[in-house]
Amino acid sequence: MKASVPAVAVWGRTAPSHSITAVMITDDQQTIVTGSQEGQICLWDLSSDLQISSREILFGHTASVTCLAKARE
């Protein structure tokens, strides 16, 4: 039997004004990182009951963010 996974929207009632092109979740599963076509990187807090809230928007890229990866320690 296939397990069911709930869908999660990362923006609440209104969609963000940017187009999400990359998604990464941290190892502790408490932060979601999204990259956008407009060059923004957004950090989202993820609670244990799957509630998502925005934390930060990082600006500075001049091209689309199409890939995200974490750095090794």
In the chain, helix, strand, coil percent, each to 5? 0, 35, 65
Domain boundaries, the chain: 20-59
Q: What is the pLDDT of residues 37-53, one digit of tens each?
A: 888 899 999 888 888 88
pLDDT for residue 61 is more than 90: no
Task: Report the mean per-residue pLDDT for the chain.
Answer: 81
Residues in the chain: 73
